[in-house]
């Protein structure tokens, strides 16, 4: 491990491709403070990051060292294409530390699980909404803001679980009683301003970005869908030692504490007990994310795919 | 010969990445395939998307043409002109990045909590009229989206129509009025027909702008449940994995066809010569006195700037200073903290801002000089090679910028060029993306120079290069400066290509704004967008100030030396930057 640190310091920097909403600053700062190695962060949404990563690798370009995104089929196909390395194949003593080996799947080490919940305007909704989603859709009909589900496949997976649990009619009722927003940040501002009373298809970290003092809060249902996010190391990374060191640090208790507290979501080591009692599984995700089902779900919400 | 070589170089820069993308979509294992079209036809609600796109682009373009031409006429032909205020300000909306402008309009016209709606309801309430909890205006509608498209389309028409009117001899209009025709009849029967080539150029630019526009429909479309081609194409390529390039290319063919037809019509119009020409003879300019209508006309010109730029700017400023969107502004709680967070505290953002300004200056300058040379070459040469070069230079106008940027990744990122993460790849991509805009402006400027001026120069013994730099370039300068401003503001705030081509080592402000709008707060994004707007506006104003001085000195020197007298013509009697 000592030689890894020495090599990483010699490399001087590491490039971090990130589809997370708010872990980058604290993660980069924490790592930089401990090792003095600069972290260059490149942020994109889930699909955008996959697309960019694939385009670069297809053209033989290697600019990223560490890749952080939602865990879906992409990472496994990237492993097959030789774009990511198998984390379990790293034979550096002390690399894994106390990180649970069961949370590593080939090229990905689990970093976060982000449950979907309900954001609400505290001026318009005096007590945290506690009823079921079906009841809330009726209760707040016309006052619901809906985060745009075309922004990423994690939203489609969530819609799939909602349809499986409450039936397709739930989604059509939701479409009739809600206003679609242009995305997470814009939608959150509309909620803050009072354009709607509650907002769905959101997680806690999105609410954290609403602005200091904004009249908005978050409530976590006891059962929901929680997409997982993980970290990977790029094959042919320009800074391989620094990449290994950053991932190793992210898997360590110190790194996990930083990530967990920054994003206020569960990580494998910390706050796992804060996850909802029941986590839904998406059959759409399990079936390999078929396009036809995605279009069907979006159509129920009156959105062209 | 030099212009021909330059044209071929530009054509190669356009065609290579284009073929890397399109070749992959049309050819599979060495065989021709129509998968691009069949897969595009099977996209969900493809008919609705195409129809909706034509409705929005068609209506907004017609409105922008009418309003932009009328504003140009007021400014160029009447005493409503108010110095640099009415010359330059119609370009100001372009300095606000389109994504920031779209969010600004969301903040202003959202039915329930939009600033303007809240204000109008308060006014109505004060006089006893209850307008309900939502409205009266609604950005989440077809008319809302068309309205914003129109606002951003008007500057293109204004710039080109102004340049055309400046070169149009106003004695024609004067004769029409002497013969008894009124102002409006003269405008419709004399002025507009004489501006056909300018308006054809403006229409091509409008179609390119409207069909490529992503930020506005991406922000406003979902809430109005409207999807347009540009958003669907970007979603297919950028927001899905694996990237669905084939249907995206298939849908791009619609854009290619529409703009291609418009471009052919524009070429036909320019070659017909049925338009205003800057001849060797003196151009008379007579300003119509509007009397009582002078100030309403001025207010209309300034009102456009207020609506298109100042209002969204104020909305973003309020959110930036408040930290979040609050329709009831508490002026006591305003803070500069988001500005500090967005700009001062973040080295990456500052570097991105500097990179963008550097790229904006380089792309605008190189782009306008190169397109001016190519435009003059294409106009003088009737060879097939010149047609090929002209077509290649305008080809990017028919493509989504995201498609082109994918081509740049495939073509230049890896071996042998290895340009990934460099400013050079962004410079080349921006240059190619904005070549059509520069080219159309240059074509229009070149088309209005009468042949006798150039012929007189040649007869006097000047070579091609000397003639271009001493005759063509000075006469084209007003149009070229307008084009420079267009390219500068667009390249500085470019977003779509930057998403794929910028990295932490060549980060630019467009990508940074997009990141902030997706992952941070609107307040932080608004702070950066406002900073970019202020810096861009300052740079443009400084450029025009300097060029004004240079132009005046140049004109005086040339008039003293009699150079132009020998050439049989004279420079426009207004400074080069008078247009702006």
pLDDT band at residue B518 under the 50/70/90 scheme: low
Number of neighbours of residue A105 by Cβ within 10 angstroms: 17
Q: Cβ–Cβ of A55/B243 closer than 8 Å?
A: yes
Q: Model ipTM?
A: 0.72
Peptide bond into A209 cis (omega under 30): no
* Dist. CA A18–CA A43, nearest whole Å: 5
**Is the pLDDT at B376 greater than 90, yes or no?**
no
Instruction: Using CB atoms, pick whichever of A48, A295, A305 lies closest to residue B238.
Output: A48
| Percentage of residues in chain A having pLDDT higher than 90 | 31
Model pLDDT, residue B57:
95
Model pLDDT, residue B240:
65
Strands of the sheet containing A13-18, edge to edge, are A38-43, A13-18, A66-70, A228-233, A108-113, A104-105
Pairing of strands A13-18, A66-70: parallel
Residues of chain A in contact with residue B110, where contact means CB-CB under 8 angstroms, are 190, 193, 195
For residue range A34-81, what is the model confidence (pLDDT) as tens digits?
898 988 887 777 777 887 788 778 767 777 899 988 887 788 888 888
Q: Cβ–Cβ of B413/A180 closer than 8 Å?
A: no
Residue scoring higher pLDDT (A208 or B78): B78
For the four alpha carbons of A150, A156, A158 and A164, in that order, the dihedral sign comes to: positive
Q: B12: Cβ–Cβ under 8 A, 6 or more apart, which residues?
A: none
Model pLDDT, residue B268:
79
Q: In this structure, what DSSP letter does residue A266 have?
A: B
Tokens 């009373």 correspond to: A197
Q: Cβ–Cβ of A42/B520 closer than 8 Å?
A: no
Rounded mean pLDDT, B548-573: 50
- What's the token pair of residue A150? 């075309």
User: Nearest CA to B164 among B142, B193, B122?
Assistant: B193
Q: Cβ–Cβ of A150/B110 closer than 8 Å?
A: no
A159-187 as b/e: b if 16+ CB within 10 A: bbbbbeebeeebbebbbebbbbbbbbbbb
Residues of chain A in contact with residue B521, where contact means CB-CB under 8 angstroms, are 185, 189, 209-211
Residue B338: closest C-alpha in chain A? A211
Residues of chain A in contact with residue B237, where contact means CB-CB under 8 angstroms, are 51
pLDDT band at residue A274 under the 50/70/90 scheme: low
Q: B379: Cβ–Cβ under 8 A, 6 or more apart, which residues?
A: B443, B446, B447
For residue range B396-434, what is the model confidence (pLDDT) as tens digits?
877 767 778 778 877 887 778 888 778 999 999 999 999
pLDDT band at residue A121 under the 50/70/90 scheme: very high
* Dist. CA A37–CA A23, nearest whole Å: 17
User: Nearest CA to A177 among A143, A131, A129, A136?
Assistant: A143
First to last CA, chain B: 33
User: Nearest CA to B313 among B96, B91, B1?
Assistant: B96
Long-range contacts of B390-394, Cβ-Cβ distance < 8 Å, separation of 24 or more: B390/B267, B390/B439, B392/B10, B392/B11, B392/B14, B392/B15, B393/B7, B393/B10, B393/B11, B393/B14, B393/B435, B393/B436, B393/B439, B394/B263, B394/B435, B394/B436, B394/B439, B394/B440
Model pLDDT, residue A73:
78
**Is the pLDDT at B281 greater than 60, yes or no?**
no
Residue scoring higher pLDDT (B411 or B66): B66
Say which range, A178-182, B163-167, B223-227, B299-303, has the weakest mean pLDDT: B163-167
Q: What is the CA radius of gyration of chain A?
A: 20
Q: Is B241 on the interface with A (CB under 8 A)?
A: yes
CB pairs under 8 A between A and B: 160
DSSP string, A5-56: HHHHHHH-EEEEEE--SS-HHHHHHHHHHHH--EEEEEE--HHHHHHHHHHH
Q: Cβ–Cβ of B327/A194 closer than 8 Å?
A: yes
What does pLDDT average to over chain B? 80
Residue scoring higher pLDDT (B562 or B344): B344
Residue A52: closest C-alpha in chain B? B500
Q: Cβ–Cβ of B103/A186 closer than 8 Å?
A: yes
Q: Is B420 on the interface with A (CB under 8 A)?
A: yes
Q: What SS3 state is found at A147?
A: coil
Closest chain B C-alpha to A296 CA, distance in angstroms? 10
Name the most confidently modeled range: B281-295, B326-340, B421-435, B511-525.
B421-435
Q: Is B47 on the interface with A (CB under 8 A)?
A: no
User: Nearest CA to B486 among B545, B436, B525, B529?
Assistant: B436
> What number of residues does chain B have?
580
Model pLDDT, residue B109:
92
Q: Is B426 on the interface with A (CB under 8 A)?
A: no
Q: Would you tell me which residues 196-235 of chain B have a C-beta closer than 8 angstroms to some C-beta of chain A?
A: 218-223, 225, 227, 232, 235
B332-342 as b/e: b if 16+ CB within 10 A: eeeeebbbebb
Plot region of A197 (φ>0 → left; ψ -120 to 50 → alpha; else → beta): alpha
Pairing of strands A216-219, A144-146: unpaired
Pairing of strands A228-233, A216-219: unpaired
Reported as type and span, the H/E element at residue B474 is helix B473-492
Pairing of strands A223-225, A228-233: unpaired
């Amino acid at each position: 491990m000592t030689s890894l640190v020495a090599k990483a310091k010699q490399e001087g920097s590491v490039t971090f491709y990130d589809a997370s909403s708010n872990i980058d600053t604290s993660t980069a700062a924490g790592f930089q403070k401990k090792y003095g190695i600069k972290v260059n962060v490149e942020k994109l949404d889930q699909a955008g990051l996959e697309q960019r990563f694939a385009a670069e690798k297809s053209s033989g370009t290697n600019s990223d060292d560490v890749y952080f995104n939602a865990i879906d089929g992409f990472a496994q196909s990237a492993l097959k294409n030789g774009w990511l390395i198998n984390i379990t194949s790293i034979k550096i003593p002390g690399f894994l530390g106390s990180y649970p080996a069961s949370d590593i799947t080939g090229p990905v080490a689990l970093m976060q699980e982000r449950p979907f919940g309900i954001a609400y305007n505290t001026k318009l909704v005096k007590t945290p909404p506690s009823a079921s989603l079906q009841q809330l859709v009726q209760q707040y009909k016309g006052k619901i803001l809906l985060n745009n589900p075309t922004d990423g496949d994690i939203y489609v997976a969530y819609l799939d679980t909602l349809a499986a649990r409450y039936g397709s009619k739930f989604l059509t009722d939701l479409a009739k009683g809600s206003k679609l927003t242009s995305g997470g940040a814009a939608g959150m501002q509309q909620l803050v301003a009072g354009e709607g009373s509650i907002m769905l298809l959101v997680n806690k970290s999105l609410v954290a970005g609403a602005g200091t003092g904004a009249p908005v809060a978050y409530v976590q249902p006891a059962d929901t869908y929680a997409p997982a996010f993980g970290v990977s190391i790029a094959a042919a990374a320009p800074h391989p030692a620094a990449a290994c060191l950053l991932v190793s640090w992210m898997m360590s208790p110190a790194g996990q504490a930083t990530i967990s507290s920054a994003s206020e979501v569960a990580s494998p080591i910390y706050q796992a007990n804060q996850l909802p009692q029941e986590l839904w599984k998406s059959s759409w995700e399990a079936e390999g994310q078929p396009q036809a089902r995605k279009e069907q779900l979006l159509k129920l919400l009156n959105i062209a795919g | 010969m030099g212009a021909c070589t330059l044209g071929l170089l530009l054509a190669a820069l356009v065609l290579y990445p284009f073929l890397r993308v399109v070749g992959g979509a049309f050819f599979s294992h060495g065989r021709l395939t129509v998968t691009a079209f069949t897969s595009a036809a099977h996209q969900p609600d493809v008919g609705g998307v195409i129809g909706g796109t034509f409705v929005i682009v068609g209506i907004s373009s017609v409105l922008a043409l009418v309003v932009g031409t009328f504003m140009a006429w007021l400014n160029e032909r009447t005493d409503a002109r108010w110095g640099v205020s009415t010359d330059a300000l119609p370009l100001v909306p372009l300095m606000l990045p389109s994504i920031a402008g779209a969010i600004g309009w969301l903040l202003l016209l959202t039915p329930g909590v939009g600033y303007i709606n809240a204000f109008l309801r308060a006014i109505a309430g004060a006089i006893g009229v209850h307008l309900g909890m939502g409205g009266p205006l609604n950005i989440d509608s077809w008319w809302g989206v068309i309205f914003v498209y129109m606002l951003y389309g008007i500057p293109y028409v204004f710039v080109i129509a102004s340049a055309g009117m400046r070169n149009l001899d106003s004695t024609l209009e004067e004769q029409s009025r002497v013969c008894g025709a009124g102002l409006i009849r003269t405008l419709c029967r004399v002025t507009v027909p004489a501006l056909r080539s300018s308006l054809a150029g403006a229409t091509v630019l409008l179609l390119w702008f409207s069909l490529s526009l992503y930020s506005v429909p991406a922000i406003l479309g979902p809430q109005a449940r409207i999807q347009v081609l540009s958003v669907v194409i970007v979603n297919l390529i950028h927001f899905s994995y694996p990237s669905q390039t084939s249907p995206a290319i298939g849908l791009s063919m619609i854009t290619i066809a529409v703009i291609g037809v418009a471009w052919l019509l524009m070429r036909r119009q320019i070659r017909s010569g049925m338009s205003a020409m800057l001849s060797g003879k003196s151009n008379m300019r007579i300003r119509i006195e509007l009397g009582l209508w002078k100030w309403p006309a001025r207010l209309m010109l300034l009102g456009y700037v207020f609506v298109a730029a100042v209002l969204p700017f104020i909305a973003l400023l309020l959110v930036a200073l408040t930290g979040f969107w609050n329709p009831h502004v508490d002026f006591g709680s305003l803070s500069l903290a988001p500005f500090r967070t967005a700009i001062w505290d973040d080295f990456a953002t500052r570097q991105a801002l500097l990179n963008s300004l550097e790229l904006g200056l380089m792309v605008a300058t190189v782009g306008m000089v190169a397109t001016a040379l190519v435009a003059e070459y294409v106009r003088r040469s009737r060879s097939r090679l010149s047609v090929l070069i002209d077509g290649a230079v305008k080809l990017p106008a028919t493509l989504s910028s995201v498609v082109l940027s994918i081509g740049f990744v495939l073509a230049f990122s890896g071996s042998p060029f290895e340009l990934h993460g460099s400013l050079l790849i962004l410079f080349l991509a921006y240059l190619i993306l904005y070549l059509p805009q520069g080219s159309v402006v240059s074509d229009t400027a070149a088309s209005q120079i009468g042949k006798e001026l150039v012929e007189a120069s040649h007869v006097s013994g000047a070579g091609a290069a000397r003639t271009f730099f001493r005759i063509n370039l000075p006469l084209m300068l007003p149009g070229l400066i307008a084009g420079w401003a267009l390219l500068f503001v667009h390249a500085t705030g470019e977003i779509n290509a930057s998403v794929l081509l910028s990295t932490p080592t060549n980060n630019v402000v467009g990508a940074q704004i997009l990141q902030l709008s997706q992952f941070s707060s609107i307040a932080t994004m608004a702070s950066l967008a406002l900073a970019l707007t202020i810096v861009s506006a300052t740079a443009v104003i400084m450029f025009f100030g300097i060029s004004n001085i240079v132009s005046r000195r140049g004109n005086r020197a040339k008039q003293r030396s009699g150079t132009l007298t020998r050439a049989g013509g004279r420079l426009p009697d207004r400074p080069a930057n008078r247009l702006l």
